[in-house]
Structure 1
């Protein structure tokens, strides 16, 4: 079977996360989105574990996988996937002597290297790899030129691309030749524009269980990655973090990485960083489907300030009532049937499916935008 999986979210115990991020909200949100698998996020946090435990046997048809994120002593973030919470309990015990926030922060800082953390993760039988690997803050390629530069002799089981990259950004990097790529939302809110905004379509043999899902990830049995156009990400292009003026790498170097307009830091974009690291012919990868959340499409067509306006929500809810879930609407629902509900949305989805999109790249911390041809 094919299962849509979002394996990286956060809890209210992490910074800047909605107080609505609780299992009783998240599981229905998955059904609306069209997800069959959800990572818990923040599984090292004992209180967050307790919130999830009543839902593990009554997960409303959603396969729940314990997942978490850790920041190492060089500020690199790591994504961890496990079969059960017991493995995260063991990991917490192993990491506790090197962390002051292991029991209080959903995404704790641990005073160990990436290699040392990966050793301990593998010791408890879990999977690990860099989170949002290309992002110019708190990421593998923000601070290292190679996987070994961070993880030493320890192997990685996966690599999360992040919102500002797609598979093409990593396909030409020799270090990543045999590493499965993941695309996850990193959601801080259960709103449909956030949860599942990036997801993995995983081909699962047998029952949909955490063990089977982890086996699929570790063997690269991923049928498709889906998510943003990379240009929509906040850090796709090299840009000033104050005024968001974009620069070529050459111009940024010439200005010593300081914006001549306001003196702000110029941060290297994911697009330029990936080009620096790529060598030779890109390796073959599963197809990557570029999507825009349905709420964002409705917002754009209606010309309003937010997908959360009353009008947008009413249109969105009518779509879900008719078709069942958002992913099916975006990918496979007949355009003629979409048109019955909203001709403008039908035209927009047709343009997206046919790649008739003009992208206005983001950078420096400002999301990119799109317009339709």
Structure 2
């Protein structure tokens, strides 16, 4: 069959996660077609109602790979996010968001049964698993692997407040939470507020692979595939994809500019503690809010600075991490047209025309500038064409940056 290139987005949520509306598998597939995402994480596959819907609608078409129809070329992998919570000191508990991938429905059902032994209330899409020590965390993860060695476990959005290296009840080393299981962690999710360039400053990150996913809570085209990972495999199967992710099969990750992410800088958003306006800083010297005199919600930028100094490990940078910073194409089009509504008829019409020419949104970002100029110039005005090219070249930023749950404000250099 030869080498296949797959675009993966393996972290999402269903309508059973908090704050998520109704999500349709059919609409997810439609967005995957336009975006160019080949394999998508189902989200919340341990939730009984969503699991039942997945089992009723998905067909296993290849080993561990599911589709809505045997003829489809867009695929699903069973996936969920769970929250592990354990004490890290006598008076502090830490919660860590963690992604699980499963090779089969039967394996997912066995894990649901295991949850009962841990008293898990499996009533929300992102269930909590509570432990009394970090040793119990490690034992639990080893137990998961004992159920099926193909279960894949990786820490989610590692730098956001509830990530393993996040600012909520911070730790210094992976072992401080995962204990003896740490050596089995081969994959780290970058998250929307960090990228490989930033993570390479943390010694423990350097010896692991990076995966980027959308963590989307919607089937909208500006959510699905907003971050993704490009891998090379010799066949489309669950084992082949996991081997690529944990081995040498990652070609590149496609990332938010970290400044866009909701937790990049440190600050307090308007309305928090009755703040009359936003307060934020990128300066690491003073992280106290001038309004309420309380510490800012610490951003990813400052946590990485802390960890780069705190981790006393001599781990060299082993390899070049290829990645590209992108913006969802509908957002680029809306910005270029100065239109606020992403779902406006004009924005969607132009989006669908571009996707038709390029093949998909992912394909567009893989094309050359020459292709974009030649193929898109006949029907795009000069400003919008230059806007798309600027994003392709990485000539954009977010100012102010994201902080304390607020996304950054886009600025494109045209």
What TM-score results when the alignment is normalised by the length of structure 1?
A: 0.92
1:68 paired residue among 60, 80, 83: 80
For the 8 Å contact 1:63–1:208, the answer to whether it is kept is no
Alignment map for 1:112-261 (pairs within 5 Å): 112=131, 113=134, 114-124=137-147, 125=149, 126-142=151-167, 143-154=170-181, 155-205=184-234, 207-241=235-269, 242=272, 243-247=277-281, 248-252=283-287, 255=288, 259-261=289-291
Q: 1:139 offset after TM fit, Å?
A: 4.1
What TM-score results when the alignment is normalised by the length of structure 2?
A: 0.83
Deviations 1:131-176 (A, max 9, x none): 0000023544333211111100102131111000000122132222
Matches of 2:409 and 2:78, distance apart in 1: 33
- Cα 1:8–1:294 change in 2 (3 A) is same
State the 4+ residue runs in structure 1 displaced beyond 6 angstroms: none
Q: 1:24 offset after TM fit, Å?
A: 1.2
Determine the structure 2 residue equivalent to 1:34: 36
Q: 1:93 offset after TM fit, Å?
A: 1.3
Matches of 1:313 and 1:264, distance apart in 2: 44
Deviations 1:64-106 (A, max 9, x none): 111111111232111111212222211121122324422x211
For the 8 Å contact 2:46–2:125, the answer to whether it is kept is yes
Matches of 1:265 and 1:331, distance apart in 2: 42
What is the CA RMSD across the aligned residues, in angstroms? 1.9
Determine the structure 2 residue equivalent to 1:109: 128
For the 8 Å contact 1:299–1:312, the answer to whether it is kept is yes
- Cα 1:324–1:264 change in 2 (3 A) is farther
For the 8 Å contact 1:236–1:362, the answer to whether it is kept is yes
For the 8 Å contact 2:155–2:163, the answer to whether it is kept is no
Matches of 1:140 and 1:90, distance apart in 2: 30
* Partner SS state of residue 284, structure 1: coil
Determine the structure 2 residue equivalent to 1:342: 380
Determine the structure 2 residue equivalent to 1:8: 11
Stretches of structure 1 that go unaligned for 5 or more consecutive residues are none
* Partner SS state of residue 375, structure 2: helix
More strand by share: 2
Matches of 1:294 and 1:286, distance apart in 2: 24
Matches of 1:368 and 1:283, distance apart in 2: 32
For the 8 Å contact 2:299–2:404, the answer to whether it is kept is yes
Q: Which has the larger radius of gyration?
A: 2
